[in-house]
Structure 1
Amino acid sequence: MNLIFYFNTVILARMLEIAVKERDKKKKSQALRDAGLIPAVFYGPKEEAMPIEVDARDFEKVWRETGGSAIVVLKGVGDDKEALIHEVDVHPITGAPRHADLYVIERGKKITVQIPFEFVGEAPAEKAGHTVIKVMHEVEIEVRPSELPQHLEVDTSALKEVGDHISVKDIKLPESGEFVTDENETIVAVKEAAEEEVFEAPAEEVTEASAEEKSTVSSDEGEEKGESEDIQE
């Protein structure tokens, strides 16, 4: 196995803003949805749970763009709050969000999040006919909110031969970042392509089959000859 010198870049997540409003607990959730709103709640280490409502289209746009790996700024209820989209309940058929939990973080303190990998580059090993196997698709890290990456790049162009692999420890993190996932875990590896098996019947079976075919043909010919002689008589 060759020693791989691996380089990658860190793409920091953009902070997006979303307007929220304190929700009247007397309002039914379905009534809010019918009005184009989503019922939600935010909470955190220093924030009591507060029911809120948010425009459905605005929320879905932010959620689709950031998922759970970016910070959104909640505006409209007291001071601006930085939060992670912690959990989203979606409609089983349409996939549209129906309710959201937002986790308000403490500014200046590290947070623990799952960050997705983005695979870039083309592996020379794959061009050579080998198989490149992606074992992991995200990693858990601890990082300051201001340095939260949107994703972490994994450059597969460093993979050239069977046995080459990229581990968690090979990935570059922001300055404040630390891996929670075991650094020795393999993210992607090169395996030798499995050869297709060609089934060949054993020689004895082929010989026996041929003998049976000849015997059948001879028997048929004998019967036809006998029938011919009977007709002539």
Structure 2
Amino acid sequence: MSENKLTAAVRSEFGKGSARRARREGQVPAVLYGHKTEPRHLLLGALEFAAILRHSGTNALLTLDIDGEEQLALPKQIDVHPLTRIIEHTDLLVVRKGEKVTVEISVSVTGEAAPGSLVTNDADVIEVEVEATHIPEGFEVSIEGAEIGTQITAADVKLPAGATLVSDPETLLVNVIEAPTEADLESEEEEAPEGEAAEDAAQEAEQAAESEEA
């Protein structure tokens, strides 16, 4: 994992008004806590922090420079505005070298399954316990040539040395099933109107019964 150095200023003003001002000035309000230490309220450079997340993901290990003191930290929660996509706040967890942490790691699928198959992704992350300074950026599973009926679970993901699977080993990640034929799709289209008509009829009958009772 690459080193992500980030300067953090100690935050001296609090409240919604000061947080809005900080964001207007290109800073992200943050709280650093963990290891039974007092929470520290900080300000991070918004552009620098966003660039680290784009490059290393939300599990990026940060080396914070706080008034000349270095502190390792992991993003615990990142609040993003739903419309502007601006990072509004983040919680950071204090970590130490050699310490193990539990994190969610994304799983991507590579390759092409056998002809006539359909690949469904039931989950795209797994939870693992790993040393804080060696968090993988992601895992890959290959379905190259996988036959119909193939299933890939969390237990099938190859973990690096020292990492332990926390997710249920039977968690289904990828399922290779038989692709529907053109006839199957046409049959579904023909059955859909009949099903809708039956549902409408049931609703009309229910409404008629309610009218009679009234």
Give your verdict on TM over 0.5: yes
Distance in 1, matches of 2:145 and 2:129, equals 26
Aligned residue for 2:165? 179
Scaled by the length of structure 1, the TM-score of the pair is 0.72
Contact 1:152/1:171, CA 8 A, preserved across alignment: yes
Larger RCO, structures 1/2 (Cα 8 Å, 6+ apart): 1
* Residue 22, structure 1, aligned to residue 10, structure 2: yes
**1:26–1:85 distance in 2 versus 1, CA, 3 Å:** closer
**Percent identity for Structure 1 against Structure 2:** 32
Deviation at 1:138, TM superposition (A): 0.3
Of residues 130, 133, 142 in structure 1, which corresponds to 2:120?
133
Of residues 82, 107, 111 in structure 2, which corresponds to 1:92?
82
Distance in 2, matches of 1:162 and 1:57, equals 46
Of residues 35, 39, 42 in structure 1, which corresponds to 2:25?
35
SS at match of 1:48: strand
The correspondence of residues 148-163 of structure 1 with structure 2, limited to 5 A, is: 148-157=135-144, 159=146, 161-163=147-149
The correspondence of residues 20-99 of structure 1 with structure 2, limited to 5 A, is: 20-25=8-13, 28-77=18-67, 79-99=69-89
SS at match of 2:33: strand
* Counterpart code for 1:141: V
* Counterpart code for 2:158: K
Aligned residue for 1:170? 156
Distance in 1, matches of 2:12 and 2:56, equals 28
Q: Deviations over 1:100-120 (max 9, x none)?
A: 111111321210000001222
**1:26–1:83 distance in 2 versus 1, CA, 3 Å:** closer
Aligned residue for 2:101? 111
Deviation at 1:156, TM superposition (A): 1.6
SS at match of 2:69: coil
* Higher CA-based Rg: 1
**1:96–1:38 distance in 2 versus 1, CA, 3 Å:** same
Scaled by the length of structure 2, the TM-score of the pair is 0.78
Distance in 2, matches of 1:44 and 1:166, equals 36
Distance in 2, matches of 1:83 and 1:154, equals 29
* Residue 142, structure 1, aligned to residue 129, structure 2: yes
Q: How many residues align?
A: 184
Unpaired stretches in structure 2, ≥5 consecutive residues: 191-214
Distance in 1, matches of 2:14 and 2:161, equals 46
Contact 1:14/1:150, CA 8 A, preserved across alignment: no
Distance in 1, matches of 2:81 and 2:170, equals 38
Instruction: Output the aligned Cα RMSD.
Output: 2.0
Distance in 2, matches of 1:59 and 1:193, equals 43
* Counterpart code for 2:112: E
